Each structure stands twice: as C-alpha cells, then as structure tokens.
Amino acid sequence: MSGFVGVVVSDPSLQGQFTQVELRSLKAKFLSLKRDSGHVTTKNLPGMMKKLRGLNEVISEEEIAAHLSQSYPDADQEIEFESFLREYLNLQSRVSAKEGGGGGGGGKTSSSFLKSSTTTLLHNLNQAEKSSYVAHINTYLGEDPFLKKYLPIDPNGSQLFDLVRDGVLLCKLINVAVPGTIDERAINKKRVLNPWERNENHTLCLNSAKAIGCTVVNIGTQDLVEGRPHLILGLISQIIKIQLLADLNLKKTPQLVELFDDSKDIDELLSLSPEKMLLRWMNHHLKKAGYKKTVSNFSTDVKDGEAYAYLLKALAPEHSPETTLETKDASERAKLVLEQAEKLDCKRYLTPKDITEGSANLNIAFVAQIFQHRNGLTSDTKQVTLTQTATRDDVLLSREERAFRMWINSLGVDSYVNNVFEDIRNGWVLLEVLDKVSPGSVNWKLASKPPIKLPFRKLENCNQVVKIGKELKFSLVNLAGNDIVQGNKKLIVALLWQLMRFNMLQLLNRLRSHSQGSQGKEITDADILKWANSKVKASGRTSQMESFKDKSLSNGLFFLELLSAVQPRVVNWKVVTKGEDDEEKKLNATYIISVARKIGCSVFLLPEDIIEVNQKMILTLTASIMYWSLQKQPQSQSEMSEQSEPSSMTSDAASDIASEDATSTTAASEGEEVNSLSDSMSNLTTDDAISNAPPAENGNGVAG
C-alpha cells in the first residue's frame, strides 16, 4: 500500500472537496503568486482565481474582487491557503446558483434534490420554501415533549435558525424522516447546552443525515452553530424530502410494479431515484386521464397547473370539477388545484404562486403528498406478487446494497447512487470509487462517461475496474468485467467489500505514517483487534473480544466500553442495559451507533449487524472508532509500533476475515452491511473534483 500523503488540509471537511491533483495544482498556483508578490491579498488574488476551472469565462475579475472584499474588507490583509480554498468553493457555488437556477427534472442520473441544496452558499433565501419547511416542522414536531415549548416556529424572522443552533431540532427531524435513525438517549437535551454538547449534537446530526442518504457538502458543525440560513435550509430540505419520498420504492409500495409493462422492467424500476419514480407515477396517471404531454420535471412542466388538474381528475374525480380544466388563468387553476388537494388531506406545502413560478422543491413535496394520500395503484395481490417473493438471500443482499450505497454516496463521488446493483453496471461509479480509495489508479482516457449507449464501452469500464482491483491485490478469482455489466450481485458485493476494507486499512496506515514520520509496518485487521482490547483494558474494564465474530459482542457492552475508553464522558451508563435478551441487545446496539456518530464516526451499519455479530461490520465499526481515537489523541510511536505486533490469536482472527473478503460468492452473500470510517478518514482519501474535472467528482468525505 502506498504511503503517499499529499497536500494535507487541517480542516477535513475542506480537504474532502478536492482531489489531490487539484490540491497540488491549487497549492502550486497559490505559492507561485505568493513568491511573485510577497503575500496574497484581495488585490492580487482575483487575477489568478479568474483563470481557475469553473470560474474561467463565467465570472469577471471585478466580481471576484467584490466577493472577496465581503470577507476581507482590508485589501492588504493576507489570505492563507485554506481561506483561498474556501473562497474558491464559495465562488463555484455562486456560479452554480447563477447557471443552474431552480431547475426541474431531467438530464443527470443523480437525484437533484439530494445533490443540490447544501452546495449553494451564495443564494437568495427562498421565503416560500422556508415557510413550507417551518409548517412541516410545526406539524410533525409540535407535540414533541422537548420541543413543544419552542413551537410553533414563526416562518418570518430568524427563529428557525436560532432554534437549530443546539442541534436538537435537526436530530428530531431526522427521526421523523427515518424513524429510529438516532437513539434519543444520545442527544444532549438541556435548556442550555455548553459548546461541547452543542458540537456533539451537530456531529450526531450530520453523520446521521449522511446515514439516511443526505448529501452534505460544504457544511460543518460550525455552520449549524452559527445558524447559517442557506446551509440549514438546504439540509432541512433534503431531510423533509427523504421523508416525503420514503414510500416511493417497491419495498414500501409493491403496487409500483403496475407502472411497468412486465417483469423485464423491474431492474429499471429498482434503479430509479425516488424523484424519477414520482415522475413515472405521475405520468402513468396523466396518460390514463388523457393528458397529451409528458411531465419531465417539477418546475416548468407544471407551471400552468394543467397537469395537476388532470392528475387529481384521475385520482379523485369526486373532488375535481370540470371548471378546473376549463379555467384559462394559470393562477386561478393553481388555486383550485390546491383546494382540491386539501380535500384529500394533503398538507399545503406551496401556494398558487409557487406553482406558477415553478418552485421545484415545493412541487415535489406537493406531488409526494398526493401520492401518500391517493396513489391510485392496484390493490390486486396477484399483480404485486412479483415484488414479494424475496428469499432470505435477497433480504441480506438488500441490506448490503443499502450499506454500500450510503458508503459510496458519502465518499463524495459525482454520481449519486440510487441502487448499487443497477447504477454500477456501466463501471463508471466503480471507477470513481477506485479513484477515491487509490488516487491515480484510473486511466480516465480509457473510460467512458455516462450516458453510455454502446455495450462494449460499459464492458471496457468494468474490465478496467477488475484490472485495477487485481493491481490492488484484491481476491477476484471468479469476477470478470462482464459479471459487473450483467449485475451479478454476489460478485459485486465481494468487490465492494474489498474496496471498503482496502480504504479502511489504507487510511489507518496513512494516519500512522503521518504521525510517525515513516511508513513502518502496515496495519492489519489483527492490529485493529489488539488496539481495541488494549484500549478497553487500559480504561480499567475487563471485557475483551477474541475475534470480530466473538458472539459475546452481541450484547454491545464491549463497544460501549470502547467508546467510553476513547471518550470518557460520551456514554451515559444509566441508560445502558445488561444485554441479556433481544430487546436489551437492540437497545444497546442502537445506542452504540448513535454514540459513535456523536463523537464523529459516520457509520452505516444497522443494530442487527451488532446483534448478529456480522464480523465484517464489527471490523469496520472498530476501525472507525480506532481512526477517530488516533486522530484526536495520537499515540506515541512506541504504542503505535506495539499495535503492529499482533499475537498469533489475533492474526488468526484477521485471517478468518481476510479469507472471507470475497474469495467466493458465498462469503459475499452473508448479509453484512458496511459502515464507513470517519469523515476525516475519507477526506484523507485525497479526492473530489470541484466541478468539471474529467473524472467528474464532487463532494464530501466519508466521515468526521
């Protein structure tokens, strides 16, 4: 494994926005300017920034200077490299906002609402969206025992942003969107929180948001503490939409199979994002109602309200008089549509003006509400049996798919993955992931970027994936490029697990070599095991794990003791159970996950992975905690060296896992999920293109 460290930025969330190629290039330009001018200020920086990718020819030098003067009113104040990087990102966001507008549906494969909101820093606040989100919060959290004394929130003014500052509201909102994501015992809930407690809540919030599928770019705990409106509304928008679109999948709504002609289309159905599924559902009913057009977005295509009138006529004819369609005035028609929707108990997320102005976010929320209350799909069980014949293997693969999907999306690759088994079949996403975990390994000149029409181009991408995997010494005995193209789930899981494990061990090795100043012996699974046992023992506890499949781990006590050892105050032992029965084990497991996220580990495993002692998940959870601990509290070189001399017992344990890393398809189908390490770990993978780089990257690191 390479000991390459590259350009290191002190802020992990900032590092995660750039590839190492970009960081080296930007650092060289910055240092060159500094050498030529003596120091970098708002006087000489605009000329250099004007030439950078993403800004060239789209923003003037004068505009850049005006932007910089807002942060640096003193023209002679020296600007440091990291400040320069932040201003570059801010200017990119400004350009994106100016070019992208409020757009609707088509084009990219990524789900627009999941890839947009939190990246726009310089953007006028949309009061209509803010009012809608406030109404949603008031409705769903109005009776919350802790928050009800602060609600309802006034949509006017800054009350929402002030209330977000302690982190409780956002944590609660995440639990509304995906119940059970956060163990409320881990939330710091007091009337007045100290800065440490607030930061813990925000860290828990951001890591949990990523775990439910939010794309969190350019936002950190300090942004939440400061109540930055644009970033907070972007995050709230994603959380609410995940809640509203939660039923748009076959598991929750098997009747969606009706949208497709035959079983051959099921793969296409599985690969659709919730937003595109909603469009598909809407067009299905519009066609039946006689509407001649196809709606391809939730902005310009619905501005006249006509599509909504036809949709409600198809779904609720008892509430849809002909006068709605006969009305010529778009504003009047929009008003009538909203009145009809309210008769279906749809909450009012938007106004007639929001429809006629094409507010995409609010229109998505509106259509999702209609879907929830009257989806108009068949209840004929014969028609949906195709979606209900899943075997145990299918269930386990589904859990694995979810984990890898969350992990890949948290890496910050440009492509947003909606279904791993479908979205990686053209090889492009896997190449993006490989470029993350092994920078420079991908030959982008030989890669084809989606959309890819020619089948052999997909095969070329996948063949390169397999070639790189072999160069990284992955066990790919039965895997060929065509297996990926064909969507062989078990072999794909085998490959992804090895990618995950490679990334995990690589990051730990980089951290150690960086702290010691030398590469030394590479960390192994056995070293992780030994480190965890030594930390628990040093804290005065007696628990130990013999291997990552030690059944005694199912009660969760060892991991709570480990978390307490690395951060003494983080575990509230009053709420910990003895883990003697299934209910107590689940309570401990859910608490472990939230506490790990609270200290900064972005983990994607489920409580079942701890209860069932899925050894791969146990390994990655332990490694997450180890990385966070070593990063925050570096050990001496002697301690680190000691971890590199595992006993024969722990070597055997590591060997057990390594032998299951996908040497066969059986090992790949055991149903374990994957959790990422910490944000900082992924940030050190040295990746993320800012906008239009050939590899097309953009995003955030894995965890923090």
pLDDT tens digits, one per residue of 395-454: 667 777 888 898 898 887 888 888 899 899 999 999 999 999 999 999 999 999 998 989
Instruction: Round to whole Å and give the CA distance between 592 and 617.
Output: 13
Residue ranges in 486-613 assigned as alpha helix (H): 489-516, 525-538, 557-566, 582-599, 607-611
Give the closest residue to 164 by CA, choosing from 209, 224, 124: 224
DSSP codes of every residue in 263-300: GGGHHHHHHS-HHHHHHHHHHHHHHHTT--S----SSG
Instruction: Round to whole Å and give the CA distance between 401 and 394.
Output: 10
pLDDT for the residue numbered 284: 94
Give the architecture (CATH level 2) of 12-99.
Answer: Orthogonal Bundle (1.10)
CATH 1.10.418.10 fits 127-245, yes or no: yes
What average pLDDT does the structure give for the chain?
81
> Domain 392-513: what homologous superfamily?
Calponin-like domain (1.10.418.10)
Residue 703 has pLDDT above 50, yes or no: no
Instruction: Round to whole Å and give the CA distance between 581 and 598.
Output: 26
Per this entry, what is the length of the chain?
704
- CA distances to 240, 509, 610, 678 from 601, in Å: 23, 18, 16, 4
Count CB atoms within 10 A of the CB of residue 470: 12
pLDDT for the residue numbered 692: 29
pLDDT class for 367, splitting at 50, 70, 90? Answer: very high
Using DSSP, state whether 411 is helix, strand or coil. Answer: coil
Residue-wise pLDDT for 553-590, tens only, equals 999 999 999 999 999 999 999 999 999 999 999 999 99
* Ranges 14-23, 119-128, 187-196, 649-658: which has the least confidence: 649-658
571 DSSP assignment: -
Query: Which H or E element spans position 471?
Result: helix 455-471
Instruction: Round to whole Å and give the CA distance between 635 and 512.
Output: 9
- Whether a cis peptide bond, with omega within 30° of 0, leads into 195 is no
Residue-wise pLDDT for 345-366, tens only, equals 887 778 999 999 988 889 999 9
Instruction: Round to whole Å and give the CA distance between 551 and 547.
Output: 9
Give the closest residue to 215 by CA, choosing from 235, 195, 190, 243: 235
Query: What amino acid is encoded at 493 in this protein?
Result: V
pLDDT class for 702, splitting at 50, 70, 90? Answer: very low
Using DSSP, state whether 703 is helix, strand or coil. Answer: strand
pLDDT for the residue numbered 381: 52
- Average pLDDT score over residue span 291-307: 93
Give the closest residue to 148 by CA, choosing from 172, 114, 178: 172
Query: What amino acid is encoded at 224 in this protein?
Result: L
User: Percentage of residues in the chain with pLDDT exceeding 70?
Assistant: 78
Count CB atoms within 10 A of the CB of residue 70: 11
The per-residue b/e assignment along 637-650, b for 16 or more CB within 10 angstroms, e otherwise, is eeebeebeebeeeb
Q: What distance lies between CA 181 and its chain's CA centroid?
A: 14
392-513 and 525-633, same CATH topology: yes
Instruction: Round to whole Å and give the CA distance between 474 and 627.
Output: 23
pLDDT for the residue numbered 98: 56
Residue 668 has pLDDT above 60, yes or no: no
Residue 18 has pLDDT above 80, yes or no: no
Using DSSP, state whether 697 is helix, strand or coil. Answer: strand
| Contact (Cβ atoms closer than 8 angstroms) between residue 221 and residue 209 | no
Residue 5 has pLDDT above 60, yes or no: no
Instruction: Round to whole Å and give the CA distance between 317 and 301.
Output: 22
pLDDT for the residue numbered 571: 96
| Contact (Cβ atoms closer than 8 angstroms) between residue 682 and residue 703 | yes
| Contact (Cβ atoms closer than 8 angstroms) between residue 282 and residue 405 | no
Q: Interhelix angle for 274-288 vs 360-373, to 10°? A: 70
pLDDT for the residue numbered 672: 36
CA atoms within 13 A on the CB side of 270: 18
What are residue 75's phi and psi, to 5 degrees?
-65, -20
User: How many Å is the Cα radius of gyration of the chain?
Assistant: 26
pLDDT for the residue numbered 648: 36
The residues near 699 (Cβ < 8 Å, ≥ 6 apart) are 16, 17, 215, 217, 411, 412, 413, 414, 688
* Ranges 24-33, 341-350, 634-643: which has the least confidence: 634-643
Q: Interhelix angle for 195-211 vs 392-410, to 10°? A: 130
pLDDT class for 162, splitting at 50, 70, 90? Answer: very high
What predicted TM-score, i.e. pTM, was given to this entire model? 0.74
Residue 653 has pLDDT above 50, yes or no: no
The per-residue b/e assignment along 575-604, b for 16 or more CB within 10 angstroms, e otherwise, is ebbebeeeeebbbbbbbbbbbbbbbbbbbb
- CA distances to 226, 374, 570 from 240, in Å: 21, 19, 29
pLDDT class for 42, splitting at 50, 70, 90? Answer: confident
Residue-wise pLDDT for 464-514, tens only, equals 999 999 999 999 988 999 999 999 999 999 999 999 999 989 888 887 766
Instruction: Round to whole Å and give the CA distance between 65 and 45.
Output: 8
Angle at 244 between CA 243 and CA 246, to 5 degrees: 65
Q: If one looks up domain 254-373 in CATH, what number appears?
A: 1.10.418.10
User: Percentage of residues in the chain with pLDDT exceeding 90?
Assistant: 48
Better pLDDT: 56 or 62: 62
The domain locations on the chain are 12-99, 127-245, 254-373, 392-513, 525-633
- Average pLDDT score over residue span 327-346: 92
pLDDT for the residue numbered 16: 63
Instruction: Round to whole Å and give the CA distance between 451 and 428.
Output: 10
Query: What amino acid is encoded at 43 in this protein?
Result: K
Give the closest residue to 549 by CA, choosing from 642, 650, 678, 403: 650
Using DSSP, state whether 372 is helix, strand or coil. Answer: helix
- Average pLDDT score over residue span 264-269: 63
* Ranges 204-213, 259-268, 609-618: which has the least confidence: 259-268
Q: If one looks up domain 525-633 in CATH, what number appears?
A: 1.10.418.10
Instruction: Round to whole Å and give the CA distance between 119 and 92.
Output: 9
pLDDT class for 51, splitting at 50, 70, 90? Answer: confident
pLDDT for the residue numbered 146: 94
Residue-wise pLDDT for 368-411, tens only, equals 999 999 999 886 554 555 445 555 566 667 777 888 898 898 88
Query: What amino acid is encoded at 465 in this protein?
Result: V
| Contact (Cβ atoms closer than 8 angstroms) between residue 356 and residue 335 | no
Count CB atoms within 10 A of the CB of residue 488: 20
pLDDT for the residue numbered 543: 92
Residue-wise pLDDT for 249-258, tens only, equals 887 888 888 8
* Ranges 543-557, 626-640, 668-682: which has the least confidence: 668-682
- Average pLDDT score over residue span 68-84: 83
pLDDT class for 228, splitting at 50, 70, 90? Answer: confident
